[in-house]
Amino acid sequence: MRLGKRYIFSVITFAMAGCSGGGGVPGPAPLPTMVASPIAKSSASPAVTPTATPSASPSPKISAQPTASPKPTVTPTATASPTPTPGASIAPSSASIGKIYYHFNPPVTSTSGLLEDLNLAGDNYTGLIESNFIAGAMLARTINETFPGVQFDKDYLYGTMFGQLLQENIETSLYTSSSNLIDPSSQQAAVMSVGQGGPYQINNYDVDLFAGGYTPSGYALLNYVAVQKNIGFTFSQATMQFEEPTPASFNNKYYGPMLTAYFHLNDLRSLYALGQTSYSPAPGFNACLTNLKSVPNAPLDVIINYAYNQGYYGGLVAQSTAQCASNVSAFVAQANSYASASGSSYNAYPYQVRFYLDELYNRSSIVPQTANHDVMSVSSLGTVFTNVMSTLSFANGGQSIYISSSTAQAAFNAAAAQEGAGATLDVSNPAQRAILFAVLNQAIANVESSLNINFSQVTLTQL
């Protein structure tokens, strides 16, 4: 969740620091002319659960709060769009092994006392990990398109949705690969209630983060062509969506991670647009992005997750980007240090996400070092990619059309061949992980090319 969002709720005894969170028409503010690349290393008690607190920080306003339109009588059914391709379940592999512990404050050196984990053996979670990394690849792609030249740590950016899911969600271990739901259990239902935003707790999913109201004015999730059709509410319903339960599509394992990726992109665009005003909550943000063009493996993910978790007005986005703007070397050193996780749950959040990924990558501070392996069948990965793309849409003649399975599968097959992917890819192996990232990036690029679209496209209308 996120300070400045409507709710921060406590459901169990661990910390759930939450998330904030026809051609298209560009957003109200101009975008910068501003690409990509992975790092940080990390002893331990479970994190403290935040108490339920109403949001405190006001959103910026450049116009009056919109008047609520009449409440619609019919809410769209938020099924996960086209039926997923059969065979998306992952055939168990004897190569996947190990555990990822989560819901604690990093860094830690021992797993003693850590109560929650995902067991990678048997590949129950592999498809879920794949869909989250595909969303990470989309985030990387759209950042490259929107802010050309800005660099980032691929390991942490491509993986951020997976790390966030472990931190934000209630018992991700309850997920089962036989279901398309991220949260199949009634024990997890709280994340789908009014204002919560699903397993990733995208609390402000219905807010325009530049204008500050509920009318989509270019900086709301509803403005992104790729996710608009499947999001579960329309422009005409947007101003009253805050009274409704979270749409069912947010809990879909192929679509939910993508929404989170687009929320991150929207945060970046909104902060940049606000940076061109006299009332920016983070005046150093735009200069920081410029500086990160010259920093390989830049810790952009830390800024992104400060914004997602605490919001723009809690102080961490302003402080980190001010340092980045004035002394980028000092910013990089501080952001890449797990010492920066000390303090509040908001300080810890980006490093919880990073540490869970470091466990997956076998480079955390846990002793003895983890020996995890999550081995992805490239064939099954292609099916998951197809299912993810099939939940997204594009504009064609003023209408919104779902991406076809055939387009997505062809795009993936060509990318896998081009990047030399073998039969399997182990995300825990650095060399194979690099191939995985290259395949996903190229597959997304192939979809864009074949449909002549840009996944960063926004619209000011209901398609």
Q: Three-state SS for 402?
A: strand
| DSSP-derived secondary structure letter, 99 | E
Examine the pLDDT at 220 and tell me if it is beyond 60. yes
**pTM for this entry:** 0.85
Does residue 47 lie within any of the structural domains? no
- CA dist 433 → 151, 253, 266, 381, 424 (Å): 18, 21, 27, 13, 11
Taking Cα atoms as reference points, which of 1, 374, 340, 347 lies closest to residue 167?
Answer: 1
**Cβ(33)–Cβ(66) under 8 Å?**
no
- Whether 305 maps to a domain, the answer reads yes
**391: Cβ–Cβ under 8 A, 6 or more apart, which residues?**
80, 81, 82, 230, 249, 252, 254, 255, 258, 402
pLDDT recorded at residue 57:
35
pLDDT of residue 281 exceeding 80: yes
Inside any domain, residue 163: yes
377 DSSP β-pair partners? 424
Is there a cis peptide before residue 368, judged by omega within 30 degrees of 0? Answer: yes
Tens digit of each residue's pLDDT (9 = 90 or more) over 363-377: 999 999 999 999 999
Q: Is the residue at 335 inside a domain? A: yes
pLDDT at residue 26, as a whole number: 32
The pLDDT, as a whole number, for residue 48 is 34
Assigned domain for 84 exists: no
Joined tokens for residue 123: 């590949």
C-beta separation of 263 from 20 below 8 A: yes
Domain count, the chain: 1
d(CA 363, CA 156): 13
- A 10 A CB-CB count for 443 gives 29
Give pLDDT, residue 6.
33
CA–CA gap between residue 43 and residue 55 (Å, rounded): 32
Closest by Cα among 238, 63, 71, 258 to 161: 258
Mean pLDDT of 316-338: 98
Residue whose structure tokens are 């062509």: 225
Whether 218 shows a pLDDT value over 80: the answer reads yes
- Closest Cα to residue 137, out of 364, 352, 310, 381? 381
Could you list the residue range(s) of the whole structural domain that residue 230 is in? 99-451
| 412 in a structural domain | yes
Asked whether residue 75 carries a pLDDT value surpassing 70, the answer given is no
Please give the Cα distance from 374 to 92 (Å, whole number): 11
- Quick one: pLDDT at residue 423? 96
- Label residue 9 by pLDDT band (50, 70, 90): very low
Helix axis angle, 300-310 to 345-360, nearest 10°: 130
What distance separates the 2 farthest-apart alpha carbons in the chain? 59
> Residue 205 CA to chain centroid, in angstroms?
12
Please state the rounded mean pLDDT for residues 432-461: 98
Residue 427 lies in a domain: yes
Q: At what angle do helices 256-274 and 126-146 cross, to 10 degrees?
A: 20
Q: What share of the chain is helix, strand, coil (3-state, %, to 5)?
A: 40, 5, 50
Q: Would you say residue 404 lies in a domain?
A: yes
According to the model, what pLDDT value does residue 27 have?
35
Residue 387 has pLDDT above 70, yes or no: yes
Quick: pLDDT tens for 401-413. Answer: 999 999 999 999 9
Inform me whether the pLDDT recorded for 69 exceeds 60: no
Mean pLDDT within 232-251: 97
Would you state the pLDDT for residue 87?
43
Distance CA 271, CA 281 (A): 8
